[in-house]
Amino acid sequence: MENGFSSPRSESFPAGLRVLVVDDDPTWLKILEKMLKKCAYEVTTCGLAREALNLLRERKDGYDIVISDVNMPDMDGFKLLEHVGLEMDLPVIMMSVDGETSRVMKGVQHGACDYLLKPIRMKELRNIWQHVFRKKIHEIRDIDHHESFEGIRLSRNGSEFSDDCIMFSGEDLTSFKKRKDFQNKYDERDYGDHSSTKKHRVVWSVDLHQKFVKAVNQIGFDKVGPKKILDLMNVPWLTRENVASHLQKYRLYLIRLQKENDLKASFGGIKHSDVPSEDTSGGFGLQSSIHTNQNDVANDRDQFSGSNFYGQDLDAKNNEGYREEIVSEPKPDSKKPLTADVPDPQDTRSSQMSFDHSSASLGSDVNYTEFDCSIPKQYPWSECPEVQSKQERKLLLQLEDGFSQQPPGVPQHYIEIDQLQSVRDTSSPIKDEPVLVEYKSRHESHISPKETTIDNFSAQSKSLIAYHQSFEPSSTAISSMKPQAVDLSCITDLESCQRNLISPSDSTFPPFNEDLTVCWLQSDFLNKNFGLPNMEFADYSDPSFIADIPVHLYDTLTSDYECPYDPTEYPIVDQGLFIV
Amino acid sequence: MDGVAQLQKQLVDYTASLFQEGFLDEQFNQLQQLQDESNPDFVVEVVSLFFEDSERLLNELAKALELKTIDFRKVDAHVHQFKGSSSSIGAQRVQKVCIAFRNYCEEQNIEGCLKCLQQVKHEYSLVKSKLETLFKIEKQLIAAGGSIPT
């Protein structure tokens, strides 16, 4: 609450890192403030979550990282986490005196980039800058991909990153150093020229989002693609990349909503647990983790976690106005709330994305409930809890199922999801066709030329790419789906996630942080049995559609993916689904 | 000076005993290390905050446990909070009681909870008086012209 907002970091990064600390315990607040100050960070303290959100909203670019306690009286720390992730896309570190695995898991699932146990030592706080740096790198990478690797510099505001900084953070970079594309780039020492491409965070205000939705509706869910949307929206400063990632989130959100509805309506129909767990790609891992958490809440909610997440994502983004519209699911009558506190989202189900801000709260509730499983998009891979490997497998399996139906030419990842949908026509078909379609089309676009997609994928750091299937152009054969190096399991450290992702396939996919969310979304999606008819894959050959799916997703489809999926109904495509 | 040296020794010994007896743990050291010229009273300030907050929490706890129908979740939340804040200054024994306390909450064991409430109050007052004594010695030391040994 104190702390004048200074300009972004100076050359001596990480000194001057702007940290916002949120904790209802005044003693800890004081201690943390002191510790962070000793680390030469700029600290702002806050005793209430709501207040913290206000602060963050007031100055969108005023902070670099948020540290928050899990237990707070006015708002659950996880909710705050979601909000921050969605609205501001800042790295968030959770803290708690409770170190139970389930809680930590929840944190990770919700997108925390780290989870610290109290009592916290100063040395633990010293390195929090890595999360900020990492994010930047990913953003840059995305931009880079997106813009064909034009001279993108790492620094955001001038010389934030000195050579030394870059150098000594080499560990972080090693993973993507492997990526050929970036190799040269990052090897460059010429960071002095920071004039180019600074990626600005796009804030999806209500208005902006409405334009977006309008455009999407105009185009039609099944044909939607970032470029088209962008053109229709006619917002000069908006980039295709922005739209693409937003679109992805939106889709996820819809899926999530749908799932929630489905869940509520027919729990029995969807047996997530049945999902086969064989080598699901990493992506699913994410799912599984989510599922795991979900277990506490609802039986079959696992799958929904993805959707929840999405919903939240979008929700937060759009001031919770989204929710309503996105929810296109039929109102479930007897749906079990995904989580205890899930409000009744069904009320607001509308097939279209009609903004219904009135139920914003509803949405938020819904979202929050699912938060357990949701993986904020901006969360680096490290957040993929491995616990969920089982679920991941399931997802994969599901994907595979869908996959098999795909025409060989189509990259697996996307297809799988779609496929699954078509496969599933069991339970209540969700009215979220638009969602499905979107989902599908979204993927479709990703599938577009393999060559380019890979690049494209990396562009979307935020995209939740559910299918983080290892994108391997060469392995298009659906039949040969083999889980690529999906190392979702136990990836608690972003870096390791990244490395996992990157190393196996030496593809140029940057480790993506946010893609994780996508992964599980899909699984949720799949589990929902949307009964989505085979949607044509539009835009497959749209090279311009930058896959939201970070390229790096593709990297790590490994067969060791240890998702505990039950290899049941869905023959999941091993290969591609991995959620980075 | 003898006076200073004596006080210093007293301080060191007393602090050591607190650690040995488990009243304080490593976290307290961390606090001491955070203290510097820009914040010469840092530890005292933090501990004072802790006292204030704890008193409030203990009151809430007592109230919550006096109700006819006890809301164990709320009690647990309070205990959790208390556990967190006691961990902030390293009040180890208090923290330990909190752990047991939470277990009783989970079991919804009223007797166990009441017992723990007494225990935690006891431990809290113990550590409070110990710390107050510690601060007193420090003050005396400084007043005598000495400095707190790091």
Task: Give the pLDDT score at A92.
Answer: 92
Structure tokens at A107: 């944190």
Query: Which residues fall within 8 angstroms of residue A32, CB to CB, at 6 or more apart?
Result: A21, A23, A43, A45, A67, A120, A125
Cross-chain CB nearest to B84 (options A30, A118, A121)? A118
Q: Do B81 and A71 touch (CB under 8 A)?
A: yes
Q: Do A97 and B84 touch (CB under 8 A)?
A: yes
Task: Give the pLDDT score at A201.
Answer: 66
Task: Give the pLDDT score at A365.
Answer: 39
**Torsion angle of alpha carbons A172, A174, A178, A182, nearest 10°?**
60
For A65-76, what is the mean pLDDT?
90
Q: Do A98 and B80 touch (CB under 8 A)?
A: yes
Query: Which residues fall within 8 angstroms of residue B46, CB to CB, at 6 or more apart?
Result: A27, A30, A31, B31, B88, B89
Task: Give the pLDDT score at B1.
Answer: 56
Which position has the higher pLDDT, A390 or B57? Answer: B57
Question: Do A515 and A550 form a contact (C-beta atoms < 8 A)?
Answer: yes
Distance CA A250, CA A246 (A): 6
Which position has the higher pLDDT, A556 or B41? Answer: B41
- The DSSP symbol for A318 reads T
Q: Do B87 and A97 touch (CB under 8 A)?
A: yes
Q: Do B30 and A97 touch (CB under 8 A)?
A: no
3-state secondary structure of A21: strand
Distance CA A458, CA A556 (A): 13
User: Confidence class of residue A575 from pLDDT cuts 50, 70 and 90?
Assistant: very low
Min mean pLDDT across A61-65, A177-181, A523-527 is at A523-527
- Give chain A positions within 8 Å (CB) of B42: 34
Residue A405's nearest CA partner among A571, A578, A575 is A571
User: Confidence class of residue A342 from pLDDT cuts 50, 70 and 90?
Assistant: very low
Cross-chain CB nearest to B53 (options A25, A31, A98)? A25
For A24-31, what is the mean pLDDT?
93
Q: For B20, what's the count of Cα atoms within 13 Å in the CB-facing half-sphere?
A: 6
Concatenated DSSP letters of B9-29: HHHHHHHHHHHHTTSB-HHHH
What is the β-pairing status of strands A65-69 and A42-46? unpaired
Task: Give the pLDDT score at B45.
Answer: 94
Q: Do B88 and A118 touch (CB under 8 A)?
A: yes
Task: Give the pLDDT score at A32.
Answer: 94
User: Confidence class of residue A85 from pLDDT cuts 50, 70 and 90?
Assistant: confident
For A127-138, what is the mean pLDDT?
88
- Give chain A positions within 8 Å (CB) of B53: 25-27
Which position has the higher pLDDT, A289 or A29? Answer: A29
Q: What confidence tens digit (pLDDT) does each residue in A262-284 have? A: 766 665 444 444 434 344 333 33
Which position has the higher pLDDT, A286 or A127? Answer: A127
- Give chain A positions within 8 Å (CB) of B88: 25, 27-28, 31, 118-119
Which position has the higher pLDDT, B32 or A144? Answer: B32
Structure tokens at A214: 């309008």
Among A155-159, A175-179, A250-254, A350-354, top mean pLDDT goes to: A250-254
Q: How far is CA A15 from CA A62, A162, A355, A387, B119, in A?
A: 15, 12, 43, 35, 44
- Order across the sheet with A114-117: list the strands: A42-46, A18-22, A65-69, A92-96, A114-117
Task: Give the pLDDT score at B129.
Answer: 96
Task: Give the pLDDT score at A265.
Answer: 66
A114 pLDDT exceeds 60?
yes
The chain-wide mean pLDDT, for chain A, equals 56
User: Confidence class of residue A204 from pLDDT cuts 50, 70 and 90?
Assistant: confident
For B54-72, what is the mean pLDDT?
92
**Whether the predicted interface score ipTM is above 0.90:** yes
Q: Which residue has the tokens 């933090």?
A: B46
Among A144-158, A258-272, B86-100, top mean pLDDT goes to: B86-100
Task: Give the pLDDT score at A146.
Answer: 61
- Chain B: nearest CA to A120, how far in angstroms? 8
Question: Do A10 and A160 form a contact (C-beta atoms < 8 A)?
Answer: yes
Question: Do A457 and A550 form a contact (C-beta atoms < 8 A)?
Answer: yes
Which position has the higher pLDDT, A415 or B61? Answer: B61
3-state helix, strand, coil in chain B (%, to 5): 80, 5, 15
Question: Do A500 and A485 form a contact (C-beta atoms < 8 A)?
Answer: yes
- Chain B: nearest CA to A30, how far in angstroms? 7
User: Confidence class of residue B138 from pLDDT cuts 50, 70 and 90?
Assistant: very high
Q: What confidence tens digit (pLDDT) does each residue in A211-254 have? A: 888 888 888 877 778 888 888 888 888 888 888 888 888 887 77
Angle in degrees, CA A195, A196, A198, rounded to 5: 100
User: Confidence class of residue A359 from pLDDT cuts 50, 70 and 90?
Assistant: very low
Cross-chain CB nearest to A34 (options B42, B84, B87)? B42
What type of residue sits at position A398? Q
Q: Do B88 and A31 touch (CB under 8 A)?
A: yes
Which position has the higher pLDDT, A336 or A114? Answer: A114
Q: Do B88 and A25 touch (CB under 8 A)?
A: yes
- Chain A: nearest CA to B50, how far in angstroms? 6
Q: Which residue has the tokens 């919770």?
A: A320
Q: What confidence tens digit (pLDDT) does each residue in A360-394 have? A: 333 333 333 333 333 344 444 433 444 444 444 44
- Give chain B positions within 8 Å (CB) of A24: 81
Q: What confidence tens digit (pLDDT) does each residue in A418-458 have? A: 343 444 444 444 344 443 333 344 444 443 444 443 344 33
- Tally of CB atoms within 10 A around A354: 16
B130 pLDDT exceeds 90?
yes
* Entry pTM: 0.48
Query: Which residues fall within 8 angstroms of residue A361, CB to CB, at 6 or more apart?
Result: A320, A343
Q: Do B39 and A34 touch (CB under 8 A)?
A: yes
Cross-chain CB nearest to B34 (options A25, A35, A119)? A35
A408 pLDDT exceeds 60?
no
Element (H, E) at A45: strand A42-46
Q: Which residue of B has its CA nearest to A71?
A: B81
B127 pLDDT exceeds 60?
yes
3-state secondary structure of A383: helix
Q: Do B27 and A119 touch (CB under 8 A)?
A: yes
Q: What confidence tens digit (pLDDT) does each residue in A483-518 have? A: 343 333 433 444 444 444 444 444 444 444 444 343
In chain A, the percentage of residues whose pLDDT exceeds 90 is 11
- Chain B: nearest CA to A119, how far in angstroms? 6
Cross-chain CB nearest to B46 (options A27, A38, A118)? A27
- Tally of CB atoms within 10 A around A481: 28
Concatenated DSSP letters of A387-422: GGHHHHHHHHHHHHHHHHTS-TTS-HHHHHHHHHHH
3-state secondary structure of A92: strand
Q: Do B83 and A97 touch (CB under 8 A)?
A: yes
- Chain B: nearest CA to A14, how far in angstroms? 20
3-state secondary structure of A146: helix
- Chain B: nearest CA to A9, how far in angstroms? 23
Residue A554's nearest CA partner among A421, A490, A465 is A465
Interface of B with A (CB under 8 A): 26-27, 30-31, 33-34, 39, 42, 45-46, 49-50, 52-53, 77, 80-81, 83-85, 87-90
Which position has the higher pLDDT, A573 or A39? Answer: A39
Task: Give the pLDDT score at A338.
Answer: 37
Question: Do A309 and A290 form a contact (C-beta atoms < 8 A)?
Answer: yes
B137 pLDDT exceeds 60?
yes
Min mean pLDDT across A73-82, A106-115, A197-206, B59-68 is at A197-206
B18 pLDDT exceeds 90?
yes
Burial class of residue A195, CB neighbours in 10 A (0-12, 13-18, 19+): exposed
For B119-134, what is the mean pLDDT?
95
Burial class of residue A428, CB neighbours in 10 A (0-12, 13-18, 19+): buried
Angle in degrees, CA A203, A497, A128, rounded to 5: 60
Task: Give the pLDDT score at A321.
Answer: 39
